Amino acid sequence: MKRLESLSPEPVWRCFEAICQVPRPSKKEGLIREFLLSFAKNHGLAAATDEIGNVLIKKPASKGKESVPTVILQAHMDMVCEKNSDTVHDFGKDPIRPYIDGDWVTAEGTTLGADDGIGIAAGLAVLTDASLIHGPLECLFTVDEETALTGAKGIKPGFISGKLLINLDSEDEGQLFIGCCGGLDTTAFFDYTPSNPKSDYFPVKISVKGLKGGHSGDDINKGRGNANKVLARFLWDASKKYDLQLASFDGGNLSNAIAREATAVFLIPQKDKENITADFNVYRSDVEYELELTDAGIKLSLESTAMPAKVLDPASQKNLLYALYACRHGVVAESFRMPGMVETSTNLASVKFTGKNRITVATTQRSDLKSAKLDIANQIESLFVLAGAEVSHSEGYPGWTPNPESEIMKITRDAYVRLFGNEPAIKSIHAGLECGLFLEKYPELDMVSFGPTLRGVHSPDEKIEIKSVQKFWDLLVETIKAIAVK
**Residues acting as catalytic residues:** 78, 145
Neighbours of 1 (CB within 10 A): 7
CA dist., res. 77 & res. 64, Å (int): 32
CA dist., res. 127 & res. 119, Å (int): 13
